[in-house]
Amino acid sequence: MIQDHRDELVRLDQAIGDADHGENMKRGFTAVVARLDAEPPDTPGKVLKLVATTLISTVGGAAGPLYGTAFLRAASAVGDASELDCDTVARALQAALDGVIARGKAAVGDKTMVDALTPAVAAASCAEGTVAAALAAAADAAAEGANSTVPMVARKGRASYLGERSAGHMDPGSRSTALLLRSFADTAAKS
């Protein structure tokens, strides 16, 4: 999934960053897939933990520690539950967002992945009750959040060096967040 969007993410990062976000994410998720295939963990929490440590050790850049922390926090929130219900998923998303903010100190409007993740957490309501529906709503909101970064002037990360020149381009990290949530939603819908 992320692999399919490598070039798009590289292009987004080329406009306002250093053109590596797609490559970084591809490297990370290729490793994730390999490790999950090699030794599939038996609980969702362990899956999340393995994703976290793999991202931390393979992605580098800003995105590695941020996504790594997000998955690590989500893993803690999920605990050793053997199945994920909607409330656990919502809590995990909130924990992930908190982790990203704790590590990166970004706020909404800084033109980062926080601009995709924050509305996603808010939208992941469990009113309808299913994990699939919550994740679908989160993915939709994240996509909108990513779009909302286009006019923003970056205040965090490499894009901030450009000042006003960063406006007019989507933040690559917000786009990869939206893609990840869409992929979770699709997986949940299928299972």
Partner 1 sequence: MKKIINDPETVVQDALRGMQAAHSDLLTVHHDPAVIVRADAPVAGKVALISGGGSGHEPLHGGFVGRGMLAAACPGPVFTSPTSDQVVDAIARTDGGAGALLIVKNYTGDVLNFEMAAELAETEVRSVVIDDDVAVKDSLYTAGRRGVGGTVLLEKIVGAAAERGDDLAACEALALRVIASVRSMGLALTACTVPHVGEPSFELADDEMEIGIGIHGEPGRQKVPVSTASEMVAALLEPILSDLPFSSGDRVLLFTNGMGGTPLIELYLAHGIAEQLLADRGITVERRLVGPYITSLEMQGMSITLLRLDDEMVELWDAPVHTPALRWGV
Binding residues for ligand ADP (CB under 6 A): 13, 17-18, 20-21, 24, 61-63, 66, 100, 104-106, 112-114, 156-158, 171-174
Question: Residue 162 binds which one of ligand ADP, partner 1, Mg ion, none, with CB within 5 to 8 A depending on kind?
Answer: partner 1
Report yes or no: 156 and 165 within 8 Å, Cβ to Cβ: no
Residue located via tokens 């299928």:
190
**Which SS3 state, helix, strand or coil, does residue 28 take?**
helix
User: Minimum CB separation from ligand ADP for residue 45, in Å?
Assistant: 24
Q: Is residue 35 near partner 1 by the rule CB under 8 A? A: no
Q: Is residue 21 near Mg ion by the rule CB under 5 A? A: yes
Question: Residue 58 binds which one of partner 1, Mg ion, ligand ADP, none, with CB within 5 to 8 A depending on kind?
Answer: partner 1
Radius of gyration of the chain (CA): 16
Encoded one letter per residue, x for contact with partner 1 by CB under 8 A and - for no contact, window 117-156 reads: ------------------------------------x-xx
Site for partner 1 in 11-30 (CB under 8 A): 14, 17-20, 23-24, 27
Break the chain down into helix, strand, coil percent, rounded to 5. Answer: 70, 0, 30
**Which SS3 state, helix, strand or coil, does residue 105 take?**
coil
Query: Tokens standing for 138?
Result: 């989160």
Residue located via tokens 């002037």:
153
CA angle 44, 47, 51 (to 5 degrees): 140
Kindly list the residues in this chain that would bind partner 1 in the complex (CB under 8 A).
10, 14, 17-20, 23-24, 27, 56-66, 68, 103-104, 153, 155-158, 160-163, 165
